Amino acid sequence: MKLNDTKYLVTVDGTQVVYVIEKPAFVDIDYTKLMLRWFLSPLRLDLKDLTVSFDGKTYTFESGKNQDGTQYARVNGKQMDVELFYVFYRLITSAASDGQYLSDVAPGDSPLMTIAYHYLDAGKPADVMTLYAGSTRRVNVDINGVIEFDMRASFVDAVKLACEHTVTGEAIEENW
């Protein structure tokens, strides 16, 4: 709790002591000014599946352990190389903003791509990242219905190609 411009009151759970401390440095951080912001990076083991949709196509990815303890990965129900899936997952979760905070941006008419993370915990709603055309070589990023940042449009092209490569077994480039 703020006491004045330079002092704060804090307590420690389970005690009845109130401390007066100097203003913590994090109080003045404005997250809209941070240099890099990752959008979604869920723990892979928490996922039931993830879907990537674009250009009328949908790719559904699943991964986990078989009964014998070996790892598996599937795209649209078909087995795929596990290591290739890990590369793909690193690419997908590398989506990050290196731009400015966007205020009052409305979504476009039609998304360029939608990435949805569905969780094993049925009580946890899916996390959805929807990408819309933005300014030159940029896409506006909608996270669960909120657009606050953009990122380089090359992410969309990299993910499209990576989705195709998960089916063909070709190498995936993680840098976009």
Does residue 15 lie within any of the structural domains?
A: no
Question: CA 122 to CA 26: how far, in whole Å?
Answer: 35
Q: Averaging pLDDT over each range in 9-13, 57-61, 101-105, 149-153, which range is the top one? A: 57-61
pLDDT of res. 35:
54
- Residue 78's contacts (CB-CB under 8 Å, 6 or more residues apart) are 167
**pTM for this predicted structure:** 0.80
**pLDDT > 90: what percent of the chain?**
73
Does residue 67 lie within any of the structural domains?
A: yes
Per the structure, the complete domain to which residue 112 belongs is given by 37-168
Does residue 104 lie within any of the structural domains?
A: yes
Q: How many domains does the chain have?
A: 1
Does residue 44 lie within any of the structural domains?
A: yes
- Residue 52's contacts (CB-CB under 8 Å, 6 or more residues apart) are 58, 59, 61, 92, 113, 114, 115, 159, 163
Does residue 66 lie within any of the structural domains?
A: yes
pLDDT digits over 40-80, tens only?
989 999 999 999 999 999 999 999 999 999 999 999 999 99
Q: Which residue has the tokens 């303890």?
A: 69
